[in-house]
Structures are given as C-alpha cells and as structure tokens.
C-alpha cells in the first residue's frame, strides 16, 4: 500500500470527478468556458469538496500553464491571517501582472473565516484595486464570518454535505484499489462517523488499516473514538427504565473499553437520543439534561461524578415518561 495520505492520493483532479455538487460544478465550468470569473466564496461544511473544486478550477483553467510561476497562489488563512500578510505578501502577488496568455491569476485563500477583521478590511481593498490582475477564491466553513463588504464583492457558492451513497461508493473504490476487505457494517459505520465529511471517512478508513485488513464496525468506532449506537442505546434505555445501577455499570464498561472523555460520551448520547422510541417531551428533557452536564464538564467538573449524576437525572424521568 502507498504511504501517501489517501485524502491526497484520491483527491479528484477535475471538476467532473467531484460528487454531490452538480449545480456548483456546472457554474464553474461556465467560468472556464468564458475564461472569466468574479471573486468567489466557497462556503460549507468540512470535507465537501471546496478546496478540491478550487484546485480543479485552476487546473482546468490554466492546464499546462500551471507550471508558470506566479500563475496562482494557495494560502491557508489560519496560518497567514494577519493584516501584515495582506498588505505585503498577498498585495504583492495581486498587483503583479499575470504571465502572457493568462487572463488573470488566482489566489486561493483557505479557511478565510479565520482571518481577523482588520485583515479582511485590508483584503477588501486589495480585491477591489487589483481585480484585473488577480481573482480570489475564499474558502470557509461559515460565510457569516466573512465581512459584508467582501461578500458583496464575491459570488457565494454554498456546498452541501456529501450524500451517504456517494461516500459509500468512494469508500468501496478506495478499498478495492488498496486491496482492503471492508464489511457492510464497516461501511455503514464510516458513513455514521463521517457525518457527510468525505475527507474524514477516508482518513478513518486509512487509520483502520493499521489495525486490520478486514474492517468491521467495531474497528471503525474504535478508531473514530466513538461508541457503537447499540451500546449507547442500551445505556439510555436502562436509565429511562429506572435501572440506575445497570446503566452505570454499562457506562463503566464503555469508558474502560473505548477510553473516551466525558464530553465525547455526552456527544455520543446526544447523537442517539433522537433515535429512541420515546415521546418528544422526554427527548426535549434529555437534550436539556445533556446541555447542563456538558457545560459542567466544560467548566472542569469531575467526569465520573458528573456522568453518574447525568444517568441519575435521566432515571428520574422514569416517573414522568
């Protein structure tokens, strides 16, 4: 097997290979056809193809001319997000004339929502002043963290989470090429823990191969640091039925076997309560209880005591079920 990260090894090279974003890809292809584009903002959840789309756009727009220096620049705004970087490095790139036969250069600014407000204000002026030389693609998870003056200068593309079917097909393809046997419950577990993030599912798949070449759901949940839903459901059902000691013993077994923090356990419980066959009112009460104890743990309370108290409070719901 290759020692390269599979996320990079199997990254789509062209816009046609990007899944679940048909409308966006169609509009990007029109930019390539016209050899013209405005400043862009790619917004959406992690692992949905934003950076890949930006790189594929550059690759298809420039082709072999990508090898020319100063054709495009990719920066991560979480590292280079200060106002000095905008006023020097980015400004110097944007104001320089593009090479011959290239209509404009492209600057890809990843994680742009991590930029400070002064840096965004400086970037706004750079975008406006040097737009003939350079077009920018700002990539972010939350477009509301980009200041309105920048948003008004850009066309916003909103990426949706990858569908379960597309994640399943990609996992099967990678498993086949890497000669890995992955069981159906392992694929379903990868889909569950990735929550629409294709990059996360591929990273988990590669991590699972360090344990075994035959991957099932237990290996996936162990690598992902999550608890199988049936075990969480067993704890919740025991507590809701008023069986405090049984639910505490089950929780101790999970804590021992999976080594999760208290906040991770609460997150796993929260993911499962809406799948229980209980009334909506009980689900509401459970959500409020989880929020209370998650806050306590965030403030530094003792995990074991708080988790036991959490189960005890759920047991009290038995009388009002």
Domain regions of the chain by residue span? 21-158, 164-224, 229-320
Q: What is the pLDDT of residues 20-42, one digit of tens each?
A: 888 999 999 999 898 889 999 99
Average pLDDT, integer, range 56-60: 90
CATH code of the domain occupying 229-320: 1.20.272.10
Cα angle 224, 228, 230 (rounded to 5 degrees) comes to 170
Q: Are 231 and 200 in contact (CB under 8 A)?
A: no
Q: Does 170 have pLDDT greater than 60?
A: yes
pLDDT of residue 256: 82
Give dist(CA 175, CA 123) in Å, integer: 43
Among the ranges given (43-52, 85-94, 174-183, 308-317), the one the predictor scored with the smallest mean pLDDT? 85-94
For range 138-158, the mean pLDDT: 92
Question: What is the C-alpha separation between 5 and 70, in angstroms, rounded?
Answer: 27
* Contact assessment for residue 189 and residue 182, using Cβ atoms and an 8 Å cutoff: no
Joined tokens for residue 131: 């737009």
Residue 310 has pLDDT above 60, yes or no: yes
Q: At what angle do helices 184-194 and 164-177 cross, to 10 degrees?
A: 130
Tokens 């403030």 correspond to 299
Q: What would the two tokens of residue 316 be?
A: 């009290």
Q: What is the mean pLDDT of residues 52-63?
A: 89
Q: What's the confidence (pLDDT) of residue 319?
A: 63
- pLDDT (0 to 100) of residue 1: 46
Average pLDDT over every residue of 77-87: 70
Cα(234)–Cα(246) distance, rounded to whole angstroms?
10
Statement: residue 251 has pLDDT above 50: yes
Mean pLDDT, residues 60-70 taken together: 72
- Classified as helix, coil or strand, 280 is helix
| Portion of the chain with pLDDT greater than 90, in percent | 42
> 279: how many CB neighbours lie within 10 A of its CB?
11
Q: How confident is the model at residue 203 (pLDDT cuts 50, 70, 90)?
A: very high
Per-residue model confidence (pLDDT) at position 20: 85
Topology of the domain comprising 21-158: Rossmann fold (3.40.50)
CA atoms of 156 and 139, how far apart (whole Å): 10
pLDDT-derived band at 276, boundaries 50, 70, 90: confident
Q: 20 with 163: CB under 8 angstroms? A: yes
Q: What is the pLDDT of residues 182-197, one digit of tens each?
A: 999 999 999 988 888 8
Torsion 160-164-167-169 (CA) sign: negative
Q: Strand 134-140 vs strand 105-110: parallel, antiparallel, or unpaired? A: parallel
Matching CATH topology for 21-158 and 164-224? no
With contact defined as beta carbons under 8 Å apart, do 210 and 58 qualify? no
Burial of 256 (0-12, 13-18, 19+ CB in 10 A): exposed
The architecture CATH gives domain 164-224: Orthogonal Bundle (1.10)
d(CA 185, CA 302): 35
Torsion of CA 251, 257, 260, 263, to 10 degrees: -10
Full-model pTM = 0.80
């Amino acid at each position: 097997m290759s020692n390269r990260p599979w996320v990079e090894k199997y990254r789509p090279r062209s816009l046609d290979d990007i899944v679940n974003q048909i409308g966006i890809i169609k509009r990007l292809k029109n930019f390539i056809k016209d050899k013209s584009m405005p400043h862009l903002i790619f917004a959406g959840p992690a692992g949905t193809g934003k950076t890949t789309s930006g790189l594929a756009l550059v690759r298809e727009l420039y082709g072999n001319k990508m090898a020319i220096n100063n054709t495009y620049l990719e920066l991560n705004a979480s590292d280079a997000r200060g106002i000095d970087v905008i006023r020097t490095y980015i400004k110097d790139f944007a104001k320089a004339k593009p090479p011959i036969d290239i209509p404009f250069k492209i600057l890809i600014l990843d994680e742009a929502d991590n930029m400070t407000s002064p840096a965004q204000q400086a970037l706004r002026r750079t975008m406006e002043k040097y737009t003939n030389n350079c077009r920018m693609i700002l990539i972010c998870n939350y477009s509301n963290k980009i200041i309105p003056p920048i948003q008004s200068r850009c066309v916003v593309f909103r990426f949706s989470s990858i569908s379960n079917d597309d994640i399943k097909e990609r996992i099967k393809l990678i498993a086949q090429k890497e000669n890995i046997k992955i069981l159906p419950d392992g694929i379903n577990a990868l889909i569950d823990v990735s929550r629409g993030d294709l990059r996360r599912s591929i990273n988990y798949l590669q991590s699972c191969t360090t344990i075994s070449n035959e991957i099932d759901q237990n290996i996936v949940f162990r690598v992902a640091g999550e608890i199988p839903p049936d075990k969480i459901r067993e704890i919740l059902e025991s507590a809701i039925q008023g069986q405090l000691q049984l639910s505490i013993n089950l929780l101790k077994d999970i804590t021992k076997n999976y080594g999760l923090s208290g906040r991770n356990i609460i997150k796993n419980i929260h993911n499962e309560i809406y799948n229980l066959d209980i009334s909506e009112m009980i689900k509401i009460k459970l959500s409020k209880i989880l929020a209370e104890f998650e806050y306590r743990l965030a403030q530094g309370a003792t995990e074991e005591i708080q988790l036991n108290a959490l189960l005890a409070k759920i047991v009290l719901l038995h009388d009002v079920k």
